[in-house]
Chain A
């Protein structure tokens, strides 16, 4: 494509700022994407440190290292930091970097708002993390912040609520920006049904974010007024109901689960075709499956509340609606497998993470279907089985997909190849240790070990020790990830080609590596046969 060569002369129209100005006042989607990704990595290690504390305490039965209340603070903060600080910002960072390049745009639609979306996050997390040093300590009632327990916290409650507000504003603005970018900034000829799947999944995710983050803001505002202004939303004595909070929270919470997995589906749908050297199987089915999952996410929320007390009709409705989600998700898994079928496969690090994602996410999906059965859920509720389930979908699902995406696009971003040897070390250490970490937790849960407790029956001792060892190894393995990134950004010598991977298709690979400051300053010409999923027009 001829336009790739003609990028550069437009760039000198815009000064490329340097130093602090470049990062703090940026309107550049790549710089802001980098900020998001670095922030997410830092939060991944802070949240990871909390997890190490949790696993260290659970290494043996009995109380070893900490007070029970501090243990609860760690479980709560681990979840909040990982969800709102690591997984979500990492996906937004990837969207910032890749979406404009994939659709032939120069930048995001609203670049200044993009900057604000990022810079709210460090401040939001300052509010959250400062609660450790306040009277009453950090929030300790679980990331779901159920009343009345959460309202019994100390000074940290107000900080927690304002943290949710700030990060919610950040998410909503980020999502608005992504929707406006995708709907308004596509190059001529980039029809909706020609967009890469990663762009599609983010379009739908952004819609989910705008629809549910305000609901969470409403829920925590009710907590705020109940605690500080004497309202009765969640107070039965005044005619309210604590269960009301759970309904509002999970109306946010279940779409939130898909906010954390749909972009992962998008990444995997980019990586697998590239390393199978085949177009994605069932492109349109993938789009429709994503949309179906998003729609269903709004009508399944009460499966998080089966044991709370609901009319029987409610239990049945939410059980069947939840199980229906397995259908579009199954479509996706089969499409990934079929894409690989008879492909010319190679297993570079991104592909290794993608294949591991397909297998391990499916395990997490299956335990999800088990949990969807209302009568069975009465047994699983609040046990380690639930912990194992959502860590399979969030760690080996979302986090592995992010890692696949980072390895896949890192050479494009830096213009230099990462070390494949280190990458493979990172992958094998991670994939083995993560299973040692989480698989025994299924058995612990089925045997009756409750979650969110610092001490347990000696009957659970051996599996907990195995799980903790897996946890420590998994935590340490992530240092290799940092090493790969630092090496690739600062030290690697091997230059990356424009089309980094032989089988890669799509507009982002027509740009130089690293791409120019503003990706496309004039709209590129779309060549159907060069799209990530082949020509789908007939």
Chain B
């Protein structure tokens, strides 16, 4: 009935949502036990949950792909998917907003107040005498010990160029898809994947350098906290984005997409551009300023 004109499409019952709920619960239940270190049952439960989550993604997306390839979806379903992805990315923006907010608050308010600015004069005099505010800082108690920061003009600049280039390659791939050049599509999509992977390699390299040579760690006061949480969550999103790009590469190769109907490709491209924009904000506010 889905292909009948003017008739709505409704998917059949599916087992995947409940699998998703159970697997997410298992994963978080294991993680909570792991954090509390109670009797070591945490890690196995966590990894069972994680495996289930991965299994669920294969199953759920697999069934959606089958339905899509069989032409079950009409234009209205396509629009619903587009709205879903768009608002999901908006929610991600707000999630990063919380961490950027923490960074700005620390730099504009809390660190200067600890140093005695504004109404922080007494705080500074009675609690943190002798602390002068500066950025970067690990706070009046120097938590984590003295550290050095990463220069923005080394790895971070290279990573900026990598991500900007990947934004170009994915656009070239998209145009190739719309014009029906299968080979060019696969090459440029593969290039995007490689650039994503290269970014992650560089970032891992940077983290190792920060920990081993610069004594810049997650414990390095508010600077280390905001540095690693912001770049870490971004790196996590690049990882997910790269996995999504790989999946799309295989789907391109299998010929799942047509010139006019390739929403999954576009959704991943949107996501990739979002990750790109977050990085530009990071590069500016975490590294340069």
Which residues from chain A sit less than 8 Å from chain B, CB to CB? 10, 13-15, 17, 21-22, 24-27, 105-107, 109-113, 115-116, 119-120, 122-124, 126-127, 155, 158-159, 162, 165-166, 169, 172, 175-177, 179-181, 183-185, 210-215, 217-219, 222, 224-225, 228-233, 235-241, 243-244, 247-248, 251, 309, 311, 518, 520-523
- The CA-CA distance from A332 to B119 in the complex, in Å, is 41
B140 partner residues in chain A, CB cutoff 8 A: 236-237, 239
Which of B86-94, B148-156, B199-207, B260-268 makes up part of the contact surface? B86-94
Let me know if B13 and A225 touch, CB within 8 A: no
**Which 3 residue pairs spanning A and B have beta carbons closest together?**
A218-B98, A239-B139, A239-B222
Distance to closest chain B CB from A268 (angstroms): 27
Contact partner of B18 among A25, A185, A230, CB < 8 A?
A25
- The CA-CA distance from A241 to B140 in the complex, in Å, is 12
B22 partner residues in chain A, CB cutoff 8 A: 123
A214 partner residues in chain B, CB cutoff 8 A: 91-92, 94-95, 97-98
Let me know if B106 and A115 touch, CB within 8 A: no
Let me know if B83 and A183 touch, CB within 8 A: yes
Let me know if B20 and A116 touch, CB within 8 A: yes
Per-residue A-contact encoding for B136-169, CB less than 8 Å = 1, 0 else: 0111110110000000000000000000000000
A231 partner residues in chain B, CB cutoff 8 A: 218-219, 224-225, 228-229
A13 partner residues in chain B, CB cutoff 8 A: 1
Q: Does B7 belong to the interface (CB within 8 Å)?
A: yes
Contact partner of B25 among A17, A123, A158, A219, CB < 8 A?
A123
Let me know if B139 and A238 touch, CB within 8 A: yes
Let me know if A179 and B10 touch, CB within 8 A: no
Let me know if A238 and B222 touch, CB within 8 A: yes
Q: Which single residue of chain B is at the shortest CB-CB distance from A171?
A: B91
Q: Does B130 belong to the interface (CB within 8 Å)?
A: no
Let me know if B87 and A180 touch, CB within 8 A: yes
Per-residue A-contact encoding for B1-32, CB less than 8 Å = 1, 0 else: 10000111011111111101110110011011
Q: Which single residue of chain B is at the shortest CB-CB distance from A175?
A: B87
Let me know if A241 and B119 touch, CB within 8 A: no
B24 partner residues in chain A, CB cutoff 8 A: 120, 123, 166, 169
A15 partner residues in chain B, CB cutoff 8 A: 12
Contact partner of A238 among B14, B94, B138, CB < 8 A?
B138
Let me know if B221 and A239 touch, CB within 8 A: yes
Let me know if B105 and A241 touch, CB within 8 A: yes
Known: A127-B28, A232-B224, A243-B110. 5 other contacts (CB 8 A): A110-B81, A175-B87, A214-B91, A240-B106, A240-B110
Let me know if A158 and B35 touch, CB within 8 A: yes
Let me know if B7 and A236 touch, CB within 8 A: no
Q: Does B79 belong to the interface (CB within 8 Å)?
A: yes
Q: Does B272 belong to the interface (CB within 8 Å)?
A: no
Let me know if B91 and A233 touch, CB within 8 A: no
Let me know if A238 and B83 touch, CB within 8 A: no
Between-chain CB contacts (< 8 Å), 22 pairs: A27-B10, A107-B8, A115-B14, A120-B21, A158-B36, A162-B28, A162-B29, A162-B31, A166-B24, A166-B28, A180-B83, A218-B97, A229-B218, A231-B228, A232-B224, A233-B222, A239-B106, A240-B225, A244-B105, A247-B101, A247-B105, A311-B119
Distance to closest chain B CB from A105 (angstroms): 7
Q: Does B76 belong to the interface (CB within 8 Å)?
A: yes
Let me know if B10 and A106 touch, CB within 8 A: yes
- The CA-CA distance from A183 to B76 in the complex, in Å, is 11
B18 partner residues in chain A, CB cutoff 8 A: 24-25, 115-116, 119
B198 partner residues in chain A, CB cutoff 8 A: none
Q: Which single residue of chain A is at the shortest CB-CB distance from B101?
A: A248
Let me know if A179 and B83 touch, CB within 8 A: yes
B60 partner residues in chain A, CB cutoff 8 A: 112
Let me know if B83 and A215 touch, CB within 8 A: no
Q: Does B285 belong to the interface (CB within 8 Å)?
A: no
Distance to closest chain A CB from B121 (angstroms): 13
Let me know if B16 and A112 touch, CB within 8 A: yes
- The CA-CA distance from A450 to B1 in the complex, in Å, is 62
Q: Does B71 belong to the interface (CB within 8 Å)?
A: no
Q: Interface residues of B toward A: which range?
A: 35 or more
Q: Which single residue of chain B is at the shortest CB-CB distance from A231?
A: B225
A159 partner residues in chain B, CB cutoff 8 A: 32
Most chain A beta-carbon contacts within 10 A, residue among B22, B90, B111, B225: B225
B170 partner residues in chain A, CB cutoff 8 A: none
Distance to closest chain B CB from A243 (angstroms): 7
Contact partner of A215 among B8, B15, B84, B94, CB < 8 A?
B94
Let me know if A230 and B218 touch, CB within 8 A: yes
Contact partner of B84 among A113, A211, A222, A239, CB < 8 A?
A113
Given A180-B87, A184-B79, A311-B118, answer yes or no on A218-B95 (Cβ-Cβ < 8 Å): yes
A116 partner residues in chain B, CB cutoff 8 A: 17-18, 20-21
Most chain A beta-carbon contacts within 10 A, residue among B6, B38, B83: B83
- The CA-CA distance from A327 to B12 in the complex, in Å, is 47
- The CA-CA distance from A416 to B96 in the complex, in Å, is 49
- The CA-CA distance from A248 to B28 in the complex, in Å, is 23
Distance to closest chain B CB from A314 (angstroms): 10
B12 partner residues in chain A, CB cutoff 8 A: 14-15, 27
Contact partner of A522 among B8, B13, B15, B218, CB < 8 A?
B8
Most chain A beta-carbon contacts within 10 A, residue among B11, B16, B128, B140: B11
Q: Does B125 belong to the interface (CB within 8 Å)?
A: no
B113 partner residues in chain A, CB cutoff 8 A: 241
- The CA-CA distance from A241 to B113 in the complex, in Å, is 10
Let me know if B110 and A239 touch, CB within 8 A: yes
- The CA-CA distance from A119 to B87 in the complex, in Å, is 21
Distance to closest chain B CB from A400 (angstroms): 31
Q: Does B212 belong to the interface (CB within 8 Å)?
A: no
Given A107-B10, A213-B91, A218-B99, answer yes or no on A127-B29 (Cβ-Cβ < 8 Å): yes
Contact partner of B13 among A17, A185, A251, CB < 8 A?
A17
B127 partner residues in chain A, CB cutoff 8 A: 236
- The CA-CA distance from A158 to B250 in the complex, in Å, is 38
- The CA-CA distance from A372 to B149 in the complex, in Å, is 44
Let me know if B139 and A235 touch, CB within 8 A: yes
Per-residue A-contact encoding for B190-234, CB less than 8 Å = 1, 0 else: 000000000000000000000000000011011111001100000
Distance to closest chain B CB from A341 (angstroms): 40
Given A184-B76, A238-B222, A239-B137, answer yes or no on A176-B13 (Cβ-Cβ < 8 Å): no
A176 partner residues in chain B, CB cutoff 8 A: 83-84, 87-88, 91
Let me know if B106 and A244 touch, CB within 8 A: yes
Most chain A beta-carbon contacts within 10 A, residue among B8, B99, B221, B229: B8
- The CA-CA distance from A448 to B95 in the complex, in Å, is 39
Let me know if A219 and B98 touch, CB within 8 A: yes
Let me know if B6 and A237 touch, CB within 8 A: no
Q: Which single residue of chain A is at the shortest CB-CB distance from B26?
A: A123
Let me know if A230 and B11 touch, CB within 8 A: no
- The CA-CA distance from A177 to B85 in the complex, in Å, is 11
Q: Which single residue of chain A is at the shortest CB-CB distance from B135?
A: A239
Let me know if B95 and A240 touch, CB within 8 A: no
Question: Which residues 57-84 of B sit at the A interface, judged by CB distance below 8 A?
Answer: 60, 76, 79-81, 83-84
